[in-house]
Structure 1
């Protein structure tokens, strides 16, 4: 199927494009605001996309190791996020305590100001087959990491 390193890098890059695009679609089309951990999961995908583009333009397959590292980073954050959602461990105070830190009293009391609700990391906003978005990100990112590794090892 996909045997060349270049094809594998393209597949892994498009995988991150799809996952990051899906996250933005859930946010801007579906109206599901991301929590702090959701946002953190996006950055490694952005890095993987950049790595993939550079690898495709330069032909240097050694960059695939960095792509694998980026995919594993987002998978790790995803696993941590799943643990927070399932209450296996505590999450970050900034997204599980319902904090309104950083919002002035004047803004809170001003009815003309639109103050968004705090998005909590320990609440599952969407799931499919009993797996949350963070869980799907972790699963699919591990698969992408495997593709990146195969790309790095393929001649």
Structure 2
């Protein structure tokens, strides 16, 4: 049984990021929903939060131990910010990135584009909602859940020993 609230908070926050990552991979590999560029960018801070959580569980004393939960909160806020931008693109509040709306054809000649053997790759558009639940897209759920995870990280920071 975990009696240390700092440890519990870190496990909850890092485990939450891990669960979000596993969910994203399940949608991709089991559900067949290819991620767009912004979706991929939202994964990296979650991966960082998982690693920060592992390190925070190993380092329990000293200034580094106190600082690590703040890094976890920063990672959660970073993915929430990317997700918020993505929601704005999905809702057509602002323009998305060129990598989300155009094919990866830069550097290809006209002959390459006409050659069926050259794999140009399909573009997954960031401005189209591939899946939603309760009227909220995956990017929207990432914003909500990541904001909650950031609060848990801050709670762990407050419980950290100096």
Corresponding residue for 2:20? 19
Matched, 1:152 2:157: yes
Q: Which moved more, 1:139-148 or 1:54-63?
A: 54-63
- Measure the CA separation in 1 of the matches of 2:4 and 2:88: 36
Aligned length: 154
Contact 1:5–1:61 under 8 Å retained in 2 = no
18-27 vs 2-11, which moves further = 2-11
Equivalent residue for 1:55?
A: 56
Q: Is the 8 A contact 2:103 2:122 kept in 1?
A: no
Residue number in structure 1 paired with 2:74? 69
Q: 1:109 aligns to what? A: 114
The SS at the match of 1:19 is helix
For residue 34 of structure 2, give the secondary structure of its aligned residue in structure 1.
coil
For 1:127 and 1:17, the matched residues in 2 are separated by: 20
CA contact (8 A) 2:104 2:123 kept: yes
Q: CA RMSD in A?
A: 1.9
User: Which residue is equivalent to 2:137?
Assistant: 132
Partner SS state of residue 10, structure 2: helix
Cα deviation code 1:21-58 (max 9, x no counterpart): 11111111111111111111011001101100000011
Q: Radius of gyration: which is bigger?
A: 2
The TM-score, its normalising length taken from structure 1, stands at 0.91
Q: What is the CA deviation profile of residues 117-153 of structure 1, one whole-angstrom value per residue up to 9, with x for unaligned ones?
A: 2111100011111000000000000000000000100
Is the CA contact (8 Å cut-off) linking 1:2 and 1:8 kept in structure 2?
no
What do the CA deviations read for 1:72-128 (whole angstroms, capped 9, x no partner)? 0000000000000000011111212x3342373455433345543211110001111
Select 1:120's aligned residue among 101, 122, 125. Answer: 125
| SS of equivalent residue, structure 1 residue 120 | coil
